[in-house]
Structure 1
Amino acid sequence: MPQLNPSPWFFTMLLSWLTFSLIIQPKLLSFTRTNLPTSKIQATTETSPWPWPWT
């Protein structure tokens, strides 16, 4: 059963993580977000209880 031999799979995993960490991740982190979060003050609305006709 070749899937139990970790030699080729470990190298593939290591190479993919290095590719992600050194090449792809810095490119993704360099993008600027278009919708930056802002601190908006939310207006509170007054609520009234529902006038149930059977009470």
Structure 2
Amino acid sequence: MPQLNPNPWFFIMLTSWLTYTMIIQPKVLSFVTTNPPSSTKPTTPNTTPWSWPWT
């Protein structure tokens, strides 16, 4: 059963992971986020309760 021979598949897996970690991952991580987090605290709106006429 040649599927159990790890000789060619291990090299392919190792090469693909090295390609991912050395080339693709730094390129993807270099993108700037479109909505960067801000350091200000979110403000909560001041809401007033609705005065219902039937209560």
Please report the TM-score for the alignment, with normalisation by the length of structure 1. Answer: 0.67
User: For this pair of structures, how many residues does the alignment match?
Assistant: 47
Which whole-Å CA distance do the structure 2 matches of 1:15 and 1:42 have between them? 50
Q: Give unmatched runs, 5+ long, in structure 2.
A: 48-55
Structure 1 residue runs without a partner (length 5+):
47-55
* Identity level (%): 61
Distance 1:15 1:45 in 2: 58
RMSD: 2.0
For residues 1-55 of structure 1, give each alpha carbon's deviation from its aligned partner in whole angstroms, at most 9, with x where no partner exists: 1110000000000000000010000000110010123355252788xxxxxxxxx
Q: 1:9 to 1:45 in 2, by over 3 A?
A: farther
TM-score (norm 2): 0.67
